[in-house]
Amino acid sequence: MIEIDGSYGEGGGQLVRTAAALAAITGAAVTITGIRARRANPGLAAQHLTAVKAVATLCDAEIDGLALKSQRLAFRPRRLRGGEFQFDVGTAGSITLVLQALLPAMIRSGERVRARIIGGTDVRAAPPLDYFEHVLLALLGRMGVRVRSELLRRGYYPRGGGEVAVAVEPGSLHALQLDAAGKLKTLRGNAHVANLPAHIVERMRSAAIAPLRTFGISEPIIETRVLGNEAAYGHGGAIVLWAETEHTVLGAGRVAQRGVRAEQLGMEAGGELAADIGAGVTLDVHASDQLLVYLALAGGESRFTTRVLSSHARTTMWLIERFLPVHFETAIRGDAVSVAVRGVQERRTDLASQG
């Protein structure tokens, strides 16, 4: 039984989600205490419950302490399996955060897996769905993973109601060696609003283009959409931008919020992406966090650079090293941080014995 202090480092829900995924992948039982202990509302929230339940379903795990506001959780996995599943957060809890836990287990199951998830597609403090599809899945594709994501309906805070179907084909993860971004090939984006005036999405788009022009980048192609009740449940919106280079994909996004001007959202997303392109890094700050589990599971050495190594990323590195025989090496390289890890591809039983 691996024991994890849930208040360590960043101490948020990501630690719980990643621990459940790693337990399912390695076969090692885990106990997590002090879950979100330093948060204003400590313990498990609805989206954390759904994420853990989803992973548990894939590996037929036994769980103790799986309840709202619980600060202790024991997770004892069995064998990972494929199949078709449906998971409903029941609130506007983020679908992409549920997938943060579920997708690594789906990939390592070794079988075809299809999951339909109901919740929020574009919510605060979580990756927007378009970032998941156009940045994270694009990077996983470069690692040899075949994942298809289908948007069925968008959903927002506070009601959720969005639906996404994700399918994973059996395959192996390959190392990702990103020493240089290479030449910029395309600069694209998606901006949308649902059940809101069309001028909001146009203002987001125009504001996003401005900081990219400042960095001497040609005008990106940003598609705009105004969605109605058939395509989206509730009121909301988001803007996501991505830059495809010779060797990598960089992205940035913002979710519409009540009281925050559309111009601010667009300017922040465009400025963030422009800064990454200008710095010559190979992963944006969000991908450098979300890819760590996959890099640790890939055969061979993976490397990347990023402008900032977030507290989320440092906490995730610490957690991964508790489950897997890997070590992350970080170093300052001018205005960037370099990260390297030699991943593992042993069978699940071997990983559990080494964890």
Cβ burial, residue 38 (10 Å; 0-12/13-18/19+): exposed
Is 297 in a helix, a strand, or coil? helix
Distances (CA, A) of 340 to 157, 256, 267: 37, 35, 32
CA distances from 130 to 4, 121, 122, 137 (A): 32, 9, 9, 10
User: DSSP per residue over 247-291, as a string?
Assistant: S-EEEEEEE--TTS-HHHHHHHHHHHHHHHHHHT-SS-TTHHHHT
138-142's contacts with Cβ under 8 Å and 24+ in sequence apart are: 138/242, 138/244, 138/249, 139/176, 139/248, 139/249, 139/283, 139/287, 139/291, 140/107, 140/291, 140/294, 142/176, 142/248, 142/249
Catalytic residue among 235, 247, 312, 327: 312
Tokens 């960037």 found at: 336
Cα–Cα distance measured from residue 322 to residue 309, given in angstroms and rounded to the nearest whole number:
19
Q: Name the helix (H) or strand (E) containing 192.
A: strand 184-194
- In 3-state terms, the chain is what percent helix, strand and coil (to 5)? 35, 30, 35
Distance CA 229, CA 6 (A): 39
Q: Could you confirm whether 312 is annotated as catalytic?
A: yes
The catalytic residue positions are 312
